[in-house]
């Protein structure tokens, strides 16, 4: 096989994988958190999306399943839609205290938060350290 053919096949495989949606809904205890990936050479901190990419992840503790997606912004509507697409409403959901997660209590039966200004683990053991 030529290098040109290998690159073409790789591109087709990656395109097909990118179009697939996860076929599972996570259950049990899950952690959700977001991060801002800075583009090379740009070191501005904070939640500004200037020269950054927002990545949101869901981690299921019992099975180590991980779902990651790039979102436009961390508004409550976007975070909630992403979570509803992949998490059972009966799950125990752990998030940080970011205001984008404030509507989770209306959808998920159990939603606990950790305030990172107080520490990385709450007094009752809630954390988002694995994600």
Going residue by residue through the chain (131 aa), what tens digit of pLDDT does each one get?
788 988 888 888 778 767 766 567 888 899 999 988 776 655 666 666 677 788 899 999 888 888 888 888 888 999 999 999 999 888 899 999 889 998 998 899 899 988 888 888 887 788 888 88
pTM for the model:
0.74
CA atoms within 13 A on the CB side of 30: 28
Give the 3-state secondary structure of residue 35. Answer: strand
DSSP state of 39: P
Tokens of 36: 């801002």
Multiple choice CATH, 24-114, 3.40.50.720, 3.30.420.10, 3.40.50.970, 3.90.25.10: 3.30.420.10
Beta-strand (E) ranges in the chain? 29-38, 52-60, 66-71, 92-96, 110-114
User: What Rg, from alpha-carbon coordinates, does the chain have?
Assistant: 17
């Amino acid at each position: 096989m030529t290098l040109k053919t290998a690159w073409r096949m790789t591109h087709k495989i990656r395109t097909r994988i990118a179009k697939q949606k996860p076929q599972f809904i996570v259950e049990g205890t899950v952690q959700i958190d977001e991060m801002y990936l800075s583009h090379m050479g740009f070191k501005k901190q904070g939640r500004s999306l200037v020269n950054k990419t927002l990545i949101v992840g869901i981690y299921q503790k019992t099975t180590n399943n991980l779902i990651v997606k790039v979102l436009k912004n961390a508004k409550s509507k976007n975070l909630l839609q992403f979570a509803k697409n992949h998490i059972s409403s009966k799950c125990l959901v752990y998030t940080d205290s970011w205001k984008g997660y404030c509507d989770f209590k209306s959808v998920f039966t159990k939603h606990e938060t950790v305030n990172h200004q107080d520490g990385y683990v709450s007094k009752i053991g809630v954390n988002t350290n694995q994600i």
